[in-house]
Amino acid sequence: MVSSLKWLRKRIFGISLQEATFAKRGFLEGDAGLRQRLEQIGQIFLLGYQAALNDDRPEGLVRQLNAIEIELRGFAFEGAAMGLALLDGLTPWKRNRVQSFLKGAGSEYAYMVYVGVGWALARLPWGIEWYLAQLNKTWGMEGEIDPVLGWLVLDGYGFHQGYFGWQRHIQEMAVPPRLSGYACRVFDQGLGRSLWFVKGADVRRIHHAIENFSPSRRADLWSGVGLACAYAGGVERAVIEALQVAAQPYWSELSQGAAFAAKSRQRAGNLTAHTEVACQVLCAMSAEAAAGITDRMLEDLHPDGANPAYEVWRRRIQAQFVAVQVNP
């Protein structure tokens, strides 16, 4: 019976590794090595997703995820979170898989887990509306969603829509119909992350794509690009330097995204050379120092009335990099 259910899960919800190839997605190709790197990341994500569909028990799932090399393991945890969230959404009698994951091995990858949940909600017809309702509740009453990192679900939703629907959301710049207010801004951060893949990490193509958007959306898009550059990597220092030039006047948002990547990797204990280089260029400091800024800006963090705590956090971090730019 158990094996039959696993087969049914994979049969209905399985996603082929071919879905992460540039050829299948219709992404613009450039350097072959870079394309292979970005395709590999997508496929590692899908391996994590498939692992969760195959075995949602924490012990068995984590064993499979930890078999992935540590530098890429975060993407597997992200994919697993998508699988667990999808199962949670389809089994109202058992909706604790993601929370159990976050309380266990997923805690170190909390940034990635929340992003992965956003992928799942993009595929559930009621998912985003339900999640937004939870965000609008009084925080702390049930303790199920982190009041700051919980917003990363909208980032994951934005990445999913850009990755799988780039023609509509990037080329046509469509505004997601089910979102409004601040949720649209976090969506754009995720959409910006997807540009790193959709445009093959090509600075000129990324810059051109963002310039087509209205000015009110560009800052959040650049924030996402900075995050993807520092976390996913795949390019040389000279490309990152060109990215910094192209992002003006959104340098602080680009830096904040890189700092998020540094913190996510530091928390999971998998800081990499490419994250270090990205932070040196985009943040004018080491990855450890950039991660430290994100920690300090969490102190005494509260919503300011007009903005959620997540936005207050982002603005505090961005202000730190404005100060670095003014006083190098």
Instruction: Please give the pLDDT value at position 129.
Output: 76
**3-state helix vs strand vs coil in the chain, percent to 5:** 70, 0, 30
* 17 backbone dihedrals φ, ψ, rounded to 5°: -60, -20
Say what the pTM is: 0.92
At CA 122, angle to CA 77 and CA 225, rounded to 5? 65
- How far is it, in rounded angstroms, from Cα 133 to Cα 129? 6
Supply the pLDDT for residue 105: 93
Instruction: Let me know how long the chain is.
Output: 328
Cis peptide bond upstream of 249, omega within 30 = yes
Q: How far is CA 188 from CA 12, 42, 155, 220, 263, in A?
A: 30, 20, 7, 6, 20
8 A C-beta contact, residue 21 and residue 200 = no
pLDDT block averages, 10 residues each, the chain of length 328: 48 79 91 95 97 91 96 98 91 83 95 95 80 58 72 96 97 89 95 98 97 98 98 97 96 98 98 98 97 96 85 97 67
pLDDT score, position 126: 75
Burial of 300 (0-12, 13-18, 19+ CB in 10 A): exposed
- From CA 86, how far away is CA 67, in angstroms rounded? 23
- Give pLDDT, residue 136: 59
The pLDDT assigned to 130 comes to 73
Structure tokens of 89?
A: 């959404």
Burial 198-235 (b: 16+ CB within 10 A, else e): bbbbbbeebbebbeebeeebbbbbbbbbbbbbbbbbbb
